[in-house]
Amino acid sequence: METKTQTRDVTTGQREMVAVRRNRRYKLCQILTIIGVLFLCTLGSLSLLDNARLLGAMLLSNATLGILNLYLLKRSGNVERAAIILSFILCSLSLGLLITGGNSNTGMLWIYPIMAINLFINRFWPAVVNFTVFTLASILFLFTPLSELLMTSYTIVEGVRFVLTILALNVICLAALHSEEQSYQTIIQLHDDDIRQMAYYDTLTGLPNRWNFKANLQRMLARAEKDKQRVGLLYIDLDNFKQVNDQFGHEAGDRLLLEFSERLWEVIRPSDQLFKTNKDSLARLAGDEFVVLLPNIKKPLDAGIVASRILKIFDNGFSVDNVTHNIYASIGIAVYPDDASEPSMLIKHADGAMYDAKASGRNCVKFFTQDIANAQRQRQRIEKGLRMALAKNQFSLVFMPIFDCENNTVVAIEALLRCQSAELEGIGPDLFIPVAEATGLIKEIDLWVTDNALKALVQLQTECGFTGKMCINVSGVELNNERFPLQVEQLLSAHNVDPETVELEVTETAFVAGDTVCLRTLNALNQLGVSIALDDFGTGYTAFSQLIHYPADCLKIDRSFVNDLFSEKEPRNKMVMIIQNLANLYGLRVIAEGVETKAQLDHLKTLGCDWAQGYYLSKPLSWDDLISRFCG
């Protein structure tokens, strides 16, 4: 793979250079021929006037050949052929001048510039041949019985001076040609280096890229196997980097990545002589993902030490251009040969450990374990199942009624997703939704759910006279998807649904304080006229004072707090009351979920909770059960 790319790159470089050279020689041939033709015509005519008929005829016939050559060159663009013909003309002209002696025996003087031109229109080796042929021919004419053929006579001194001068001139010309040739080679080399750099190194940070890294890893593991050494692989993924891009623009994001790559190098530089790292031990795999290779570590924990040093980079925030960003890193560690012996498995396991670090609240380091491998395998299985379910339309919805606490009537219905794919047997949305979010499949799923929940709502309204709301769960991922509000709007109008009968539930953890994109999307959704509920409220980190900034209509108390209503644990059993008070303060509706007992429901009523749902009131119902219950 590697060598293939390399040969392809080299030929690209050479091809470009050949084109540049051909263009240059084309122009040179053209200009020299025009000048030569003008020159020959003038001198030829003068010679004829001077009664030197043979010389005049020779010069003019050469001029005619030159014009013919120019015409051929223009028509075919064939520089090589034009150069050969021109070379032939110049060579025969030079010999003609030597034989005839030119005007008043000055022909020899003309030969020097003509020969120089002759060499320069050629490449190096053809020029050598040309020069050798001409020198040998002139020696034969000057110093052998062939001199009988000359129409003029030269003294020995003149002959020797001519040959020596032509030798010196040619050596100079050939040397110049040779150095030109070499500079072309250098340019090709540099050009190929550039292409190589682009193919194997990340253009932003200059670090090895994914392909290069894989090759380095392979080499390093082969050496480690031979020397019986351990190699640590750190998989680093920045947390919150997307927000920097969204809030400060891509240029700021790029500068941050560059700065991070430099500080990363500082941190892993072999200052303590523990690891012999060099820049090939680092790589940027994609976006905000980096890897570090630690050759020859004594024990896996050594890799943990370096990982902790990397996390320290983010202590007190990460400043670039006087702006401090709240970004961190999640780091996964896998060690050769303990965790994997294959390069691709080692990367995969370090990636799995990184995923685990992200899931454990970010800004931390995780070592690869067998549990992580199992979870990773399960995620892959789920992903496969989701893709299949999307392709074969194997999704369905169940519906959970939501009751008004005051009069026990159904005021809303929450649509919950189910998947029938064989791969996902026994796996509920709490497990497959996070995988869908991580793989980007969620966007398609959310649209499917919205579309089908609206379809169900219309049917409930027209067939059963249902007047309540349809509550639809949408992933927090959509808050970063600026197209989502428009897609919802299109679905609302396609089903001709009154937006006031729709509530979108977004988990509270999806909210990031100060995230402008997130807020913009929420406002756009709110503008559509649908209401917005903050799902699983209380589990996220929303500073309660931030609530005023969100266009939320409803807080959905997480079912773990309802579950803890009568527990001994002090702050937890008060959470429902605290959230209820908060909702009163901001004029928000409250839904308690996970009500499983009458005691819980009664207590919620006394606290002033508006709506409630849970197994005590009704389990999620299939479409048929829902219809027979509400329309029957």
- Residues forming contacts to ligand C2E in the complex (CB under 6 A) are 415-417, 428-430, 433, 446, 449, 473-475, 505, 535-536, 559, 593-596, 613-615, 620
Which span sits near Ca ion by CB under 5 A: 68-76, 462-470, 491-499, 528-536? Answer: 528-536
Q: How far is the CB of 447 from ligand C2E (least distance, A)?
A: 10
Closest to ligand C2E by CB, 9 vs 505, is 505
Q: How far is the CB of 586 from ligand C2E (least distance, A)?
A: 21
With binding defined as CB under 5 A, does residue 508 bind Ca ion? no
**Burial degree of 629 (CB within 10 A; 0-12, 13-18, 19+):** middle
Q: Which residue has the tokens 């679905």?
A: 491
Q: How far apart are CA 446 and CA 437, in angstroms?
A: 10
Break the chain down into helix, strand, coil percent, rounded to 5.
65, 15, 20
Which span sits near Ca ion by CB under 5 A: 31-39, 103-111, 502-510, 569-577? Answer: 502-510
Q: How far apart are CA 419 and CA 421, in angstroms?
A: 6
CA angle, residues 208, 211, 214, in degrees to nearest 5: 90
Q: Applying CB under 5 A, which of residues 202, 239, 508, 536 lies at the interface with Ca ion?
A: 536
Q: How far apart are CA 446 and CA 484, in angstroms?
A: 10
Non-local (6+) Cβ contacts of 349 within 8 A are 332, 334, 339, 340, 368, 372, 373, 376
With binding defined as CB under 5 A, does residue 515 bind Ca ion? no
Answer with the entry of Ca ion, ligand C2E, none that 594 interacts with (C-beta below 5 to 8 A by kind): ligand C2E
Closest to ligand C2E by CB, 138 vs 475, is 475
Query: Hey, CA dihedral for 422, 426, 432, 433, is it positive or negative?
Result: positive
Query: 609 with 405: CB under 8 angstroms?
Result: yes
Q: How far is the CB of 484 from Ca ion (least distance, A)?
A: 17
Answer with the entry of Ca ion, ligand C2E, none that 47 interacts with (C-beta below 5 to 8 A by kind): none
Helix (H) or strand (E) holding 191: helix 156-200
Closest to Ca ion by CB, 36 vs 538, is 538
Q: How far is the CB of 607 from Ca ion (least distance, A)?
A: 18
Per the structure block, which two tokens stand in for 312? 């320290």
Closest to ligand C2E by CB, 82 vs 457, is 457
CB atoms within 10 A of CB 625: 15
Non-local (6+) Cβ contacts of 401 within 8 A are 410, 412, 413, 613, 617, 618, 621, 626
Answer with the entry of Ca ion, ligand C2E, none that 515 interacts with (C-beta below 5 to 8 A by kind): none
With binding defined as CB under 5 A, does residue 535 bind Ca ion? yes
Answer with the entry of ligand C2E, Ca ion, none that 206 interacts with (C-beta below 5 to 8 A by kind): none
Per the structure block, which two tokens stand in for 446? 């959310």
Closest to Ca ion by CB, 55 vs 402, is 402
CB atoms within 10 A of CB 384: 13
In terms of Cα–Cα distance, which of 446, 448, 420 is closest to 433? 446
**Which amino acid is it at 616?**
Y
Secondary structure (3-state) at 320? strand
Closest to ligand C2E by CB, 312 vs 483, is 483
Answer with the entry of ligand C2E, Ca ion, none that 433 interacts with (C-beta below 5 to 8 A by kind): ligand C2E
Q: How far apart are CA 17 and CA 293, in angstroms?
A: 38
Q: Tally DSSP H helices, then E strands, for the chain.
A: 20, 15
Per the structure block, which two tokens stand in for 160? 């020797």
Closest to ligand C2E by CB, 142 vs 433, is 433
Closest to ligand C2E by CB, 103 vs 481, is 481
Q: At what angle do helices 250-268 and 300-312 cross, to 10 degrees?
A: 140
Which span sits near Ca ion by CB under 5 A: 114-122, 527-535, 570-578, 610-618? Answer: 527-535
Query: 471 with 465: CB under 8 angstroms?
Result: no
Q: How far is the CB of 423 from ligand C2E (least distance, A)?
A: 17
Query: 196 with 9: CB under 8 angstroms?
Result: yes
Q: How far is the CB of 574 from Ca ion (least distance, A)?
A: 19
Q: How far is the CB of 611 from Ca ion (least distance, A)?
A: 13
Q: How far is the CB of 358 from ligand C2E (least distance, A)?
A: 18
Closest to ligand C2E by CB, 71 vs 615, is 615
With binding defined as CB under 5 A, does residue 505 bind Ca ion? yes
Query: 232 with 303: CB under 8 angstroms?
Result: yes
Answer with the entry of ligand C2E, Ca ion, none that 446 interacts with (C-beta below 5 to 8 A by kind): ligand C2E
Q: 447-470 burial, b for 16+ CB within 10 Å, e for fewer?
A: bbbbbbbbebbbebbeeeebebbb
Q: How far is the CB of 13 from ligand C2E (least distance, A)?
A: 51
Answer with the entry of Ca ion, ligand C2E, none that 620 interacts with (C-beta below 5 to 8 A by kind): ligand C2E
Q: How far is the CB of 400 from Ca ion (least distance, A)?
A: 9
Per the structure block, which two tokens stand in for 354? 């990184």
Answer with the entry of ligand C2E, Ca ion, none that 429 interacts with (C-beta below 5 to 8 A by kind): ligand C2E
Answer with the entry of Ca ion, ligand C2E, none that 615 interacts with (C-beta below 5 to 8 A by kind): ligand C2E
Closest to ligand C2E by CB, 220 vs 601, is 601
Closest to ligand C2E by CB, 337 vs 594, is 594
With binding defined as CB under 5 A, does residue 9 bind Ca ion? no
Answer with the entry of ligand C2E, Ca ion, none that 417 interacts with (C-beta below 5 to 8 A by kind): ligand C2E
Backbone angles phi, psi at 620, to 5 degrees: -60, 140
Q: How far is the CB of 616 from ligand C2E (least distance, A)?
A: 7
Closest to Ca ion by CB, 9 vs 503, is 503
Strands 323-325 and 318-320: antiparallel
Closest to Ca ion by CB, 337 vs 540, is 540
Closest to ligand C2E by CB, 433 vs 583, is 433
Q: How far is the CB of 240 from ligand C2E (least distance, A)?
A: 22
Q: How far apart are CA 632 and CA 628, in angstroms?
A: 4
CA dist list (Å): 193 to 186, 211, 278, 348, 461: 10, 16, 20, 31, 68
Which span sits near Ca ion by CB under 5 A: 35-43, 101-109, 514-522, 533-541? Answer: 533-541
Q: How far is the CB of 558 from Ca ion (least distance, A)?
A: 6
Q: Which residue has the tokens 């400043």?
A: 319
CA angle, residues 192, 194, 197, in degrees to nearest 5: 110
Closest to Ca ion by CB, 348 vs 559, is 559
Q: How far apart are CA 495 and CA 472, in angstroms?
A: 15
Answer with the entry of Ca ion, ligand C2E, none that 475 interacts with (C-beta below 5 to 8 A by kind): ligand C2E
Q: How far is the CB of 474 from ligand C2E (least distance, A)?
A: 5
In terms of Cα–Cα distance, which of 386, 456, 388, 470 is closest to 428? 386
Instruction: Name the site residues for Ca ion (rule: CB under 5 A).
Output: 473, 505, 535-536
